[in-house]
Structure 1
Amino acid sequence: MDFGSRPELRFLEDLGLQATNQGCYGGGEWRAGGKSVSSLSPASNQPIATVIEGSLEDYERSLKACESARESWMLTPAPKRGEIVRQIGDAFRKNLENLGRLISLEMGKILVEGIGEVQEVIDMCDFAVGLSRQLSGLILPSERPNHMMMEVWNPLGIVGVITAFNFPCAVLGWNACIALVCGNCVVWKGAPTTPLVSIATTKIIAGVLERNGLPGAIFTCICGGAEIGEAIAKDSRIPLVSFTGSSKVGQIVQCHVNSRFGKCLLELSGNNAIVVMDDADLSLAVRSVLFAAVGTAGQRCTTCRRLFVHQAIYKDFIEKLVTAYGQLKVGDPLKHDSLVGPLHSSQSKQAFEQGLEAIASQGGKFLTGGVGTTTSPGENYVTPSIVEISHDADVVKEELFGPLLYVFQFKTLDEAIAMNNSVPQGLSSSIFTKSHETIFKWIGPTGSDCGIVNVNIPTNGAEIGGAFGGEKATGGGREAGSDSWKQYMHRATCTINYGKTLPLAQGINFN
């Protein structure tokens, strides 16, 4: 396999990738003794390069090195840690387009989304740099004379990060940028099907550590399968595990981490809905639903999977939406005119097709796409589908990872809210309306039960400044902005007696 003879792959050399790559970076060196796997392009199912995965022995060696680097990084002043993260952001800026192209090549999302994912990491670095000078606790009044109370925030030590294929770079950035400025070493396992993105991302970060004379063990990357993820979940040396993936696997991870009294940050399944009221701006709503439903070929956790349209505008709105679907260009994600790329793997396509059959068997009526509309075998492209079905159907309660949109009618806002909240998941939701009364009910205590509650924007495309995450079967975790940093540190309530007597709280006299 020669990148030089394949012009479309030459950018991989600029990222430091080779035809065969070591898939474990631990203790500042690349060394892996696991099995060899091929990274496949979703657009063709053809191999891009080979990766030697890390073994459990590699994991143990890497964790020991990480432990040895932990204390020095914890004692590095937070603004100095922020300076390192600033340099990491600059390194990603230099590799913005090439890394974005690799994400499109290996994950399958269209090029603008691949580049946008790298930009998200850059934005997180900028956010974390500012945060490094604001990791502040409270000063609290004491009821005892000559006493002062304060909150002190200290690093956890090591943070484990397990990410999914659909955002093979950005979700690492959400966690690692914050974890690093908070004083933690990071141990990362990316998705087994996107190892090249994991390696390229790690090379960028490792280069910054090396140029600053810092231990490479501050950041560890191990490519591998479920056995590496299980090792991270069970490892008592890792106080916090951030896991992104399905609710089913998330429950297993949570059980392992909880059994050793660790902390878990879960970002799991979404079954997101958009509500379109009869006073909505229909043009804005159609464009938003289109992007929310088919962006990343429906493989975002924030993808819109359920659409509730007021009965007064239902027919007109659905006609406009079906027309918009007819204008979608499904094709090679690296071509600039493609709006929808392939599903990530042949297994993803098979699961999508089986899902369409289940929908048909439960009375679904396809308005676009449907069973038998996918492309030829050997490729992972599918036709974005719209289906009318009862909102009580079993398939509606589950997340089918692909460009599938269920559509329903409703009469009242209360009915729409009830349907929005009727599924096990609770990640993202959105409503389109011009009514202030409707808006404030939607975002209030009897409105949407999701962690992300939008108005007049899609369910996807979240900014990094706000905390990202959801409720119920979505796991309850929060990543990225706001005060999410507190999850990566532990709080110590400190009371200082600067007097010469020992008064006790609650007026207790122990003399």
Structure 2
Amino acid sequence: MTRATSVAGDPAARAVELLSSMGVTMPAPGSLVARTPITGAALTTLTASSGADVDAAIGKAANAFRDWRTVPAPQRAAVVRRLGELLREHLHELGELATLEAGKIGAEARGEVQEMIDVCEFAVGLSRQLYGRTMASERPGHRLMETWHPLGVVGVLSAFNFPVAVWSWNTAIALVCGDTVVWKPSETTPLTALAGHALLRRAAVEVGADPEIHQLVQGAADVGERLVDDERVALLSATGSVRMGRTVGPRVAARFGRCLLELGGNNAAIVTASADLELTTRAVVFAAAGTAGQRCTTLRRVIAHTDVVAALGDRLCDAYHQLRVGDPLEDGVLVGPLINGRAYTSMQDALARALADGGELLCGGERVIVHGEESYYVRPAIVRMPAQTEVVREETFAPILYVLTYYDFDDAIALHNQVPQGLSSTVFTRDQREAERFLAADGSDCGIANVNIGTSGAEIGGAFGGEKQTGGGRESGSDSWKAYMRRATNTINYSTELPLAQGIEFSPVSS
């Protein structure tokens, strides 16, 4: 255990100041405690939504949907465009609030808000590109086409590690598609949710739209469960653990609702004998240690060729020793706190299991005391493993990087794919054949597969999501908008005849 310097002032007063600057009126105090992982202290308390509150919020969203769905998509985009402008105006304030509430360093927190701005721009452009298609009909005098229509109320369950960005991915797209939104954020980040909600409703009012198109409910898991089970919620988009997804998916399916799941990741990098080790080291360190290892896209496994594993391990440990762990409000800090004590315990348990399995701790893993015993800072850890044991196959939401070795590239791909998660992946190589093989059908089985870049930091233009236990959902870019709409196939007969498909003859009525 080591100690680090810190610069924490009064985070509770600062949080109120930041919220006020964004036009947020503090709600009445209650039992829901907003804490900062920077010190472990309470920022404020809020009143959790009751069952009746959730039911009313869903009802308001459903009522607003009746009119919102008929507004032309480019006009709906005006709300999202204005939201993006407000986010630009308050980028630093919302970013600092995310730092206070989620513990992110300033650069990453501001990057999260920039991501929100980017997805707003994407959604505004998308509002004029919700394309259907016209297909050739086999019947003369007929036109065959498909059209896309708003789906209904979209429920969004988001996690603490990206307290506003993931909400914006879903909400910006859902709104331009003509849906309304009910948002249930993580109970550990209620204040950033208040800010996001306030900015969106302000945007709606300023462009003359109904602010009831967006609703916010706050509380623990029981609040989210009401969204899961309510038949008025047409689509439930849930970001969280695999365990959560195992519960949510079947319950939504049981009522024939739609589900978009973004669950765990156990992301790996294959480092080949030809890899540029300097580039690889930079990419691995950010992907593995950024956000204190608390990203679904965090790099958790390195599968390195036997010829380079020792040199790579040395480079990584050298870089890890230079990582400054401490108060994320302090300049120069690169690794902030874990979200809470449970995360710290989970990390220490995983390290103990890895060492019991024959692993060798190369560096890190120890606790760093920054603001006393109520906050949890750790040095990112690197563990050399003799095999891909059960603890390596699991996702531990903390900065642990397991290093495995391979000799044959086919074995590396097999090792890469032998985990239940399938979110993000990468290969570091200067061999085009290896790069192309990794991206091929028998290569990486993940939803995101990269070459010579880390597993995290996805751009909003590409659809984000994964396979296997990651849930199969896709958010943000590409054609992910289709998840938020319903498709209709239309056949128009503009002739005076009534030919049937497949040439069927059926004419009981004489002319």
Same fold (TM over 0.5): yes
Q: Measure the CA separation in 2 of the matches of 1:357 and 1:5.
A: 36
1:12 aligns with 2:19: yes
1:193 aligns with 2:223: no
Partner residue in 1 for 2:492: 496
1:461 aligns with 2:457: yes
1:337 aligns with 2:332: yes
Q: Measure the CA separation in 2 of the matches of 1:183 and 1:383.
A: 45
The worse-fitting range, judged by mean Cα deviation, of 201-210 and 182-191 is: 201-210
Unaligned 5+ runs, structure 1: 24-34
Partner residue in 2 for 1:86: 81
Partner residue in 1 for 2:218: 223
One-letter amino acid of the counterpart of residue 416, structure 2: N
Look up the SS of the partner of 2:47 in the other structure.
strand
Q: Measure the CA separation in 1 of the matches of 2:102 and 2:384.
A: 30
**Aligned-pair distance for 1:15?**
2.4
**Aligned-pair distance for 1:453?**
0.2
Q: Measure the CA separation in 2 of the matches of 1:22 and 1:94.
A: 27
One-letter amino acid of the counterpart of residue 235, structure 1: D
**Aligned-pair distance for 1:3?**
7.7
1:290 aligns with 2:297: no
Go from structure 1 to structure 2 and tell me whether the alpha carbon gap of 1:14 and 1:4 turns closer, same or farther (over 3 Å shift): farther
Q: Measure the CA separation in 2 of the matches of 1:188 and 1:6.
A: 26
**Matched-pair contact (CA < 8 Å) for 1:37–1:53:** yes
Partner residue in 2 for 1:405: 401
**Matched-pair contact (CA < 8 Å) for 2:112–2:165:** yes
Go from structure 1 to structure 2 and tell me whether the alpha carbon gap of 1:219 and 1:327 turns closer, same or farther (over 3 Å shift): same
**Aligned-pair distance for 1:47?**
1.1
**Aligned-pair distance for 1:439?**
0.9
Q: Measure the CA separation in 1 of the matches of 2:211 and 2:479.
A: 28
One-letter amino acid of the counterpart of residue 461, structure 2: G
Q: Measure the CA separation in 2 of the matches of 1:478 and 1:237.
A: 22
**Matched-pair contact (CA < 8 Å) for 2:158–2:240:** yes
Q: Measure the CA separation in 2 of the matches of 1:352 and 1:386.
A: 12
For residue 318 of structure 2, the aligned residue among 314, 318, 323 is: 323
Partner residue in 2 for 1:125: 120
Q: Measure the CA separation in 1 of the matches of 2:11 and 2:159.
A: 30
One-letter amino acid of the counterpart of residue 434, structure 2: T
Q: Measure the CA separation in 2 of the matches of 1:249 and 1:115.
A: 28
One-letter amino acid of the counterpart of residue 22, structure 2: L
**Matched-pair contact (CA < 8 Å) for 2:177–2:485:** yes
Q: Measure the CA separation in 2 of the matches of 1:4 and 1:164.
A: 22
Q: Measure the CA separation in 2 of the matches of 1:51 and 1:373.
A: 31
**Matched-pair contact (CA < 8 Å) for 1:4–1:10:** no
Matches within 5 A, 1:347-496: 347-370=342-365, 373-375=367-369, 377-496=373-492
Look up the SS of the partner of 2:379 in the other structure.
coil
Q: Measure the CA separation in 2 of the matches of 1:12 and 1:185.
A: 24
1:354-375 deviations in whole A, cap 9, x for unaligned? Answer: 22222222222100123x5454
Look up the SS of the partner of 2:377 in the other structure.
coil
**Matched-pair contact (CA < 8 Å) for 2:123–2:173:** yes
**Aligned-pair distance for 1:9?**
6.0
1:107-163 deviations in whole A, cap 9, x for unaligned? Answer: 011111000001101000000000000101010000001000011100001111100
**Aligned-pair distance for 1:17?**
4.4
Identity between Structure 1 and Structure 2 (%): 47
The worse-fitting range, judged by mean Cα deviation, of 63-72 and 279-288 is: 63-72
Matches within 5 A, 1:26-65: 35-65=30-60
Q: Measure the CA separation in 2 of the matches of 1:221 and 1:252.
A: 22
Q: Measure the CA separation in 2 of the matches of 1:379 and 1:208.
A: 36
Partner residue in 1 for 2:4: none
Q: Give the TM-score taking structure 1 as reference length.
A: 0.95
Look up the SS of the partner of 2:342 in the other structure.
helix
**Matched-pair contact (CA < 8 Å) for 1:391–1:419:** no
Go from structure 1 to structure 2 and tell me whether the alpha carbon gap of 1:6 and 1:53 turns closer, same or farther (over 3 Å shift): closer
Q: Measure the CA separation in 2 of the matches of 1:361 and 1:5.
A: 42
For residue 168 of structure 2, the aligned residue among 148, 165, 173 is: 173
**Matched-pair contact (CA < 8 Å) for 2:294–2:398:** yes
Q: Measure the CA separation in 2 of the matches of 1:213 and 1:384.
A: 49
1:109 aligns with 2:79: no
**Aligned-pair distance for 1:459?**
0.3
Partner residue in 1 for 2:3: none
Look up the SS of the partner of 1:459 in the other structure.
coil
Partner residue in 2 for 1:21: 27
1:71-117 deviations in whole A, cap 9, x for unaligned? Answer: 11000000001122111110111110000000011001111100000
**Matched-pair contact (CA < 8 Å) for 1:3–1:9:** no
Partner residue in 1 for 2:227: 232
The worse-fitting range, judged by mean Cα deviation, of 135-144 and 308-317 is: 308-317
**Matched-pair contact (CA < 8 Å) for 1:3–1:10:** no
Partner residue in 1 for 2:136: 141
1:439-466 deviations in whole A, cap 9, x for unaligned? Answer: 1100001100000000000000000000
One-letter amino acid of the counterpart of residue 347, structure 1: R
Unaligned 5+ runs, structure 2: 1-8
**Aligned-pair distance for 1:334?**
1.3
One-letter amino acid of the counterpart of residue 11, structure 1: L
Q: Measure the CA separation in 2 of the matches of 1:149 and 1:482.
A: 25
Q: Measure the CA separation in 2 of the matches of 1:77 and 1:272.
A: 41
**Aligned-pair distance for 1:495?**
0.4
Look up the SS of the partner of 1:21 in the other structure.
coil
One-letter amino acid of the counterpart of residue 209, structure 1: A
